[in-house]
Amino acid sequence: MNKMPEALNKCSARQAFLASCAAKTRLLHTPVSDPYEVSGHPNPAGLGDAGPFSQTGSWGQSSVLFPTLETYRQADGCGRASYGGAEYGVVQTPEAEAVCKKIAALHNGHGAVICPSGLAAIATTLDALAPKAVLIPDCVYGPMLRLLNRRRIKPFRYPAGASATEFRAVLEKASSEYSQGQELLVYLEAPGSGTFEIPDIEGIAAIAKNAELRTVMDNTWASHIRFLPLEHGIDIVIQATTKYEGGYGDTPSGVVIAKDPQDLQHIADELRATGNGAVAPTTCSRLYHRLDSTEERLNQHAETAQRLMDWFLTQPFTAGVLSPALETSPYHERFQYYFGKGNGLFSVIFQPDIPANKVEAFADALNLFWIAESWGGHLSLVLPVHAKREVTSMPDGYVLRFHAGLEDYQDLLRDLEQAAQDTLLTAPAGTQ
């Protein structure tokens, strides 16, 4: 294993900082203070009561046993064993079925399926519905664009915070090239990735319904706690349950919830045909139990994020903070109507005259904010926002996205302060 000297120095600095932190913060970070020892896994110690739920269940055997040929034939015909789960392989095990039933009920949906990741849930839905073109918000999750390109599905971008009128204009353009119905699909994501715009969700859903188009919404930001898309006109919901539902970064999975039985059957058939529903039973078991604590954790993430945003807003190097939870956000009214409360995510815009290397040095100097992509877990994170917008403007200045974890907020503030003092607030050598 190649351990970079600067990385080893960072491990030592992090461990020294942890020694001064509250017990709660030490509990979360000590197991991962040296990521080389745990291969970068965020939850090697089984935090969040993962341990008891990881030692039970079917463990994903490839064979499902049947007492007679007739019972097997019946199961093979419909893809389901009479005692729950699939007739073959790990796809839709009894554990998967249990967590899907629970999640579907939380969304007031007809049913749900589970996939190995949020992106797998998106891919399965697109493959099942097979559109030729998709209307997407300009702030859509980056890998979604790669997927559309690979599937040769044409994207039509509408503004990230689109009004119904702005969306209708893009739909008219798409409809001039593709027939409505099976060829076109409407996709929403709110708040948007990295910059957190909120479109007129109900207005877009109503226009799509009038045009007889299916609507699919990525609801990962909100979880079922903050927003129920099916009750606002959306047909199909996708969530990366790796995030807030799982809560500790160790439940790689994504779910698709459908309102219409026929839509659900198309998606379930796609899973059966491709085998892409193979999610470990232990992961499903963890997720099933963690769902019960989602709201408590999400509220703590939101409270801590608000304290951190308040701190950034007082700093001279901050040009702005992106979060619809702030009253100054142009999307605050929609935020209050649709979501009501925030989560742990926000982005900080640094003053345009601050060089990128100084902002990145600030990120590297943090001890409790890990550099990582998949937010929603117990650890605080930071990552640059390199959004590619085509119809929506991006702010001037370097943008960092933060996720507030479950640590003691005072430790997080101390960490921000020490990193800022060392990198952003220190006068260059030779100046007064």
Q: For residue 166, is it within any domain?
A: yes
388 and 412 both lie in a single domain:
yes
Among the residue ranges 38-52, 145-159, 355-369, the one predicted with the least confidence is 38-52
The DSSP output letter for 86 is: B
* CATH number of residue 375's parent domain: 3.90.1150.10
170 and 203 both lie in a single domain:
yes
The DSSP output letter for 113 is: E
Task: Give the H or E element holding residue 134.
Answer: strand 133-137
Domain end point (choices 291, 309, 329): 291
Q: For residue 5, is it within any domain?
A: no
* Alpha carbon 93 to its chain's center: 24
140 and 279 both lie in a single domain:
yes
204 and 184 both lie in a single domain:
yes
Q: For residue 344, is it within any domain?
A: yes
214 and 246 both lie in a single domain:
yes
97 and 188 both lie in a single domain:
yes
Residue-range definition of the domain harbouring residue 149: 91-291
Residue in 377, 371, 288, 290 with CA at minimum distance from that of residue 42:
377
Q: When comparing pLDDT for 33 and 224, which is higher?
A: 224
Q: For residue 20, is it within any domain?
A: yes
Confidence of residue 432 (pLDDT cuts 50, 70, 90): very low
Total domains, the chain: 2
Q: For residue 64, is it within any domain?
A: no
* Section 11-35 average pLDDT: 91
156 and 274 both lie in a single domain:
yes
Q: For residue 51, is it within any domain?
A: no
Structure tokens at 165: 């009128």
pLDDT > 60? residue 151? yes
pLDDT > 80? residue 181? no
| 261-274 helix and 118-129 helix, angle to the nearest 10 degrees | 110
Q: For residue 96, is it within any domain?
A: yes
What per-residue confidence (pLDDT) applies to 203? 98
What per-residue confidence (pLDDT) applies to 429? 45
What per-residue confidence (pLDDT) applies to 82? 74
Counting Cα atoms < 13 Å in the Cβ hemisphere of 398 gives 18
122 and 233 both lie in a single domain:
yes
Domain end point (choices 291, 307, 324): 291
Single-letter code of the amino acid located at 133: A
* Section 42-48 average pLDDT: 74
pLDDT (tens digit per residue) in 341-378 = 999 999 999 999 999 999 999 999 999 999 998 999 99
Task: Give the H or E element holding residue 137.
Answer: strand 133-137
* CATH number of residue 250's parent domain: 3.40.640.10
* Section 249-254 average pLDDT: 91
379 and 397 both lie in a single domain:
yes
213 and 282 both lie in a single domain:
yes
Backbone angles phi, psi at 189, to 5 degrees: -145, 125
pLDDT (tens digit per residue) in 270-322 = 988 887 778 888 888 889 999 999 999 999 999 999 999 999 999 999 999 99
Domain end point (choices 270, 291, 312): 291
Confidence of residue 66 (pLDDT cuts 50, 70, 90): confident
Q: How many CB atoms lie within 10 A of CB 390?
A: 8
